[in-house]
Amino acid sequence: MFGAMLDVWFLIFPFAFYFVFKLLWMKYIHRKWQYSTKWILLEIIPPRELEKSPKLMESIFAGMAGVITTPNPIEVYVQGFLPTYFSLEMVGSEGDVHFYIRTPSNYRNLLEAHFYAQYPDVEIVEVPDYVDAIPVTIPNKDWDIWGTEFEFVKPDVYPIRTYERFDEDVTGKMIDPLAGLTEVMAKTGPGQHLWLQYLVSPRGNEQGWVKEYGKKIVDELTGKTPEEKIGVFRRMGHDLFEVGANLHKGLLAQEIEFKGLEAEKKELGPLEFRLTPGEKDILKAVELNMSKQQFQTKMRFLYIGRKEGFDKSLVSSFIGGIKQFNDMSLNSFKPNNETKTSVYSLFAKERLRFRQRLLYMHYRDRDWDDIDNTFYLSSEELATVYHLPDMAVMTPTITRVAAKRGGAPANLPIE
């Protein structure tokens, strides 16, 4: 038997190890593709007197969808093609609040064009990467870390609470949903940092999956039952059974009645009478969310600080700010237990340290290769969680443009 294995090993082993080889190969070429891309970090400095709603960010995100391409098999399985993605980041470092976008360098003009079109007074500056100011290996004897990735409570087609539902009832003015987050970031003391990261990749054909899955959700909400697909063999078996069951009636010249496989359709009343007001609102929100441009998203949060000032109450305050986007009847964010830096039971200390360093490394690298914990956000949802705060946000440490830009006078003499 051993000799037979030696004779045919080259036929058996490739099939046995195919999946392992494919996994390792795809990880290798994805890393190679990612590191071959030249990345730059842009700081987005909002104007001091900004009186515009997050709706303008939807236009910017729609413009970002222009990077969608359709790769061929060589690019996917040989070159390691990854769909273009951007990293949208909000950072609170020692009390200062900054907004960044990390992008492939060849898409800088695209981002600047769309930002300047919607925010003429915004300032966009290429800056060094802020993560380089922190040690590469954390936790260590001087630094500690707490972090997590986020996930949805319900399926992706259910939207979170978006900016249009943050209006104040008395005055009608919008309450900026980022105000709570920026205030918490402004509370970071010396040596303390709060980092929030959204890796977003616009999707084209995959959006069909969202619509297809969303249609099932809509059918459930409206009470429609999906049509059952009946196979050829099942129909043939049913017909043979009906013939056998009615054979004696035929011989006795009695009336024969064949029963079809199709289920009887129930007559449903008008939709407005079958749904409660709350169910109508949910249905409307789901259908509206499905009509928007979709972005596959990975959401990470880190709190990094020197041990002498490390204060986990900042974590509770920040996650409380995230919860303002939650809607119990629609969708909510929650920390992902597989990535959250809280470990119990056996070897808790070692496992915790491994999880902390892995999450920190993924954040630093803006790692998109691990797509297990991703979800879809529509352009409206994305504009809600990441936009330029208006002047009503009074956080004093938000970096803002000091003066408006202006062109040179038309009659300026030229020597």
Q: What is the pLDDT of residue 299?
A: 93
**Cα(317)–Cα(312) distance, rounded to whole angstroms?**
9
pLDDT for res 264: 47
Task: Spell out the CATH class of 37-213+278-385.
Answer: alpha beta
CA distance linking residue 130 with residue 169, whole number of Å: 40
For the residues of 76-110, what is the DSSP string, one character each? HHTS------EEEEEEEETTEEEEEEEEEGGGHHH
In the chain, where the domains are located? 37-213+278-385
φ, ψ at 390 (rounded to 5°) = -80, 180
Q: DSSP string covering 238-280, please?
A: HHHHHHHHTHHHHHTT----PPPSSPPPPPP--HHHHS-HHHH
Please tell me which residue, 281 or 271, carries the higher pLDDT value: 281
- Report which of 32, 14, 136, 150 is spatially closest to residue 82, judged by C-alpha positions: 32
The model's confidence at residue 66, banded by pLDDT at 50, 70 and 90, is: confident
Higher pLDDT, 289 or 224: 289
User: What residues have CB less than 8 Å from 46, skipping those under 6 apart?
Assistant: 99, 119, 122, 388, 389, 398, 400, 401
Using the predicted structure, report yes or no on whether residue 270 has a pLDDT greater than 60: no
Distance CA(23)–CA(369), nearest Å, equals 11
Q: Evaluate the omega torsion of the peptide bond into residue 139 and state whether it is cis, within 30 degrees of 0.
A: yes
Residue with tokens 């939207």: 159
- Contact of 100 with 86, CB cutoff 8 Å: no
Average pLDDT, the chain: 81
Give 203-229 pLDDT, tens digit per residue. Answer: 875 556 676 777 777 777 776 665 556
pLDDT at residue 284, rounded to an integer:
85
More confident residue, 329 or 3: 329
